[in-house]
């Protein structure tokens, strides 16, 4: 596959960011749905009460019922949005939200044709105050998402403007022109607020991405600081920390901890015969065998130093630890890595292993387990190498 040009990579990154921003905008407006629903129902009830003395009762009741139905539907839509499945289309949720507020706003805009009387100054003032108040509330509710603001504000304010200009009253015309000035000021303000909020959302995503990237780097650095550079096994420091942790846990739970110390037999003569590069390759192959044998999450294989390795087996009895060590010995011998100077076997690489198991007590330090395993390893090498010896049972397996 041909590499993507740098500019196209930047565009794809921009597209992803814009998608995240749009999703966050929809999440915010849906998060504000319940205050809008509660406030809208209360406002519709107050408006219906104010105009109940002058408006046609049947029309007013139908209008209020329609408002109540739409607001309840918007509340249900908000609940559905909270329970949405991962991967659901943000565009569909945005469209549903816009339809809901467009219907709500259109019902509010209809009051000018249904209920407002140009010859009743008090009712004109109430309706005008209502239109301005609804427009101002839209700034707070929908400034993060301009399509939502437009879908609500235009159907509320435009009918008022048309009504005021068609009443053939100089005062109403003046109020209508004042409304136009109010619209320009409000649109300018919300445009600035919207731009600032979108930049804030982008900044939040950028900061979240940077924090996650730093955490990822820290995790990688921590893993590198715990690994031996050549073999990929845990290093001596990580081994010491793990053994101390497992020792405390075993003492608390009264469970045994087993330790296997492993030494590659006659490794110095291997380096002398084959060279240090071949010696490194031998260490890597033995390490991979040890790592591949680890099956339980709590077990750990480490490079103890030079050609020595250590395996910590929490909650493991001595018999099981010895069986595990013997399987390692046999598998490494079966790898048949050439070693013509190895006196412990027929010209192949072998290992010796010492196994120790202790159920920790308060009076026993963790270093005791290392000492016992090291003593068992020493006896395994003294007995001819290529064998497993248990410190606790003092029995030989080969």
Q: Which residues pair with 303 in a beta bridge?
A: 309
Rounding to the nearest 10 degrees, give the CA dihedral for residues 96, 99, 102, 106.
Answer: -140
Spatial distance between the Cα atoms of 23 and 204, rounded to a whole number of angstroms: 13
Catalytic residue among 199, 307, 333, 375: 307
Spatial distance between the Cα atoms of 58 and 63, rounded to a whole number of angstroms: 9
- Residue 234 is given by DSSP the state B
Helix (H, G, I), strand (E, B) or coil at 148: helix
Spatial distance between the Cα atoms of 263 and 105, rounded to a whole number of angstroms: 81
Spatial distance between the Cα atoms of 75 and 64, rounded to a whole number of angstroms: 16
- Token pair 């029995």 is found at 395
Q: Read off φ and ψ for residue 352, nearest 5 degrees.
A: -115, 145
Q: How far is CA 215 from CA 203, 212, 224, in A?
A: 18, 5, 14
Q: Read off φ and ψ for residue 260, nearest 5 degrees.
A: -115, 120
Is 333 designated active site?
Answer: no
Q: Which residues pair with 305 in a beta bridge?
A: 308
Hey, which residues are catalytic here? 307
């Amino acid at each position: 596959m041909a590499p993507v040009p740098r500019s196209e990579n930047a565009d794809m990154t921009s597209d992803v960011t814009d998608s995240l921003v749009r999703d966050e905008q929809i999440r915010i407006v849906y998060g504000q749905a319940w205050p809008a629903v509660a406030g809208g129902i209360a406002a519709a009830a107050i408006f219906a009460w104010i105009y109940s003395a002058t408006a046609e009762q049947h029309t007013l009741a139908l209008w209020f019922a329609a408002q109540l139905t739409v607001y309840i539907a918007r509340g249900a839509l908000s609940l559905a949005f909270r329970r949405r499945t991962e991967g659901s289309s943000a565009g569909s949720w945005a469209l549903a939200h816009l339809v809901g507020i467009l219907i709500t706003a259109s019902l509010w805009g209809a009051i000018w044709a249904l209920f407002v009387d140009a010859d009743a100054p008090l009712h004109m003032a109430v309706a005008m105050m209502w239109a301005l108040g609804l427009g101002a509330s839209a700034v707070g509710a929908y400034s993060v998402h301009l399509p939502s603001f437009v879908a609500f504000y235009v159907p509320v304010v435009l009918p008022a403007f048309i009504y005021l200009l068609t009443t053939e009253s100089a005062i109403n015309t003046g109020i209508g022109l004042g409304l136009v000035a109010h619209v320009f000021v409000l649109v300018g303000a919300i445009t600035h607020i919207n731009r600032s909020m979108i930049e804030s959302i982008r900044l939040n995503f950028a900061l979240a991405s940077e924090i996650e990237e730093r955490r990822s780097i820290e995790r990688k650095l921590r893993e590198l600081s715990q690994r031996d550079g050549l073999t990929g096994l845990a290093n001596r420091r990580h081994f010491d920390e793990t053994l101390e942790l497992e020792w405390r846990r075993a003492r608390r739970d009264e469970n045994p901890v087993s330790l296997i110390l492993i030494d590659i037999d006659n490794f110095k003569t291997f380096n002398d015969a084959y060279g240090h590069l071949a010696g490194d390759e031998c260490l890597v192959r033995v390490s991979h065998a040890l790592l591949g044998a680890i099956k339980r999450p709590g077990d750990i294989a480490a490079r103890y130093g030079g050609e020595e390795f250590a395996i910590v087996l929490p909650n493991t009895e001595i018999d099981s630890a010895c069986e595990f060590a013997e399987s390692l010995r046999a598998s490494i011998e079966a790898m048949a890595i050439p070693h013509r100077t190895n006196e412990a076997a027929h010209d192949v690489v072998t290992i010796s292993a010492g196994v120790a198991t202790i159920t920790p007590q308060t009076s026993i330090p963790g270093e005791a387990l290392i000492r016992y395993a090291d003593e068992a390893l020493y006896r395994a090498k003294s007995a001819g190498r290529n064998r497993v010896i248990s410190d606790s049972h003092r029995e030989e397996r080969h």
